[in-house]
């Protein structure tokens, strides 16, 4: 596995652990269907949460969450729509971004942006 893929998996592991510590149930990791992929699908008492995880070795080039652009948001919303149709989930949906930045002393600094964006109207 390439080094950046290893770092990404470690960041997703840290993000999932963070969510579990907050009381979320992890429903899926790296959910894939058709041409869509979601890093983490989780659930709390109120929402089904679709989570995009961005992992970096530093924030030198900006905060990782800022790299989630309109195209990625659109695909994440489309993936959520497909997932909801397949599962008949009966909770409101929320879209979160988790930024995981590797720290030189070891471990990740986690920044969780809940309700990070609203779905665009013209998806």
**30-81 pLDDT per residue, tens:** 999 989 999 999 999 999 999 999 988 766 655 656 667 788 999 999 999 9
Contact criterion met (CB below 8 Å) for 38 and 16: no
Please tell me the distance from the alpha carbon of residue 57 to that of residue 103, in angstroms, as a whole number: 7
Please tell me the distance from the alpha carbon of residue 70 to that of residue 73, in angstroms, as a whole number: 5
Closest-CA residue to 95 (of 68, 120, 118): 118
CA atoms within 13 A on the CB side of 107: 5
**Structure tokens belonging to residue 101:** 């930045």
Residue 122 pLDDT = 63
**1-37 pLDDT per residue, tens:** 566 678 889 999 999 999 999 999 999 999 999 899 9
Beta pairing partners, 102: 108
**75-111 pLDDT per residue, tens:** 999 999 999 999 988 899 999 999 998 887 878 999 9
């Amino acid at each position: 596995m390439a080094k950046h893929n290893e770092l990404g998996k470690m960041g997703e592991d840290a993000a999932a652990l963070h969510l579990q510590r907050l009381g979320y149930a992890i429903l899926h990791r790296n959910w894939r269907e058709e041409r869509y992929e979601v890093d983490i699908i989780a659930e709390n008492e109120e929402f089904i949460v679709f989570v995009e995880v961005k992992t970096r070795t530093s924030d030198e080039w900006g905060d990782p969450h800022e790299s989630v652009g309109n195209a990625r948001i659109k695909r994440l919303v489309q993936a959520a729509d497909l997932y909801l149709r397949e599962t008949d989930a009966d909770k409101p949906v929320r879209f979160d971004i988790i930024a995981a930045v590797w720290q030189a002393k070891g471990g990740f600094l986690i920044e969780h942006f809940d309700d990070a964006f609203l779905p665009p109207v013209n998806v």
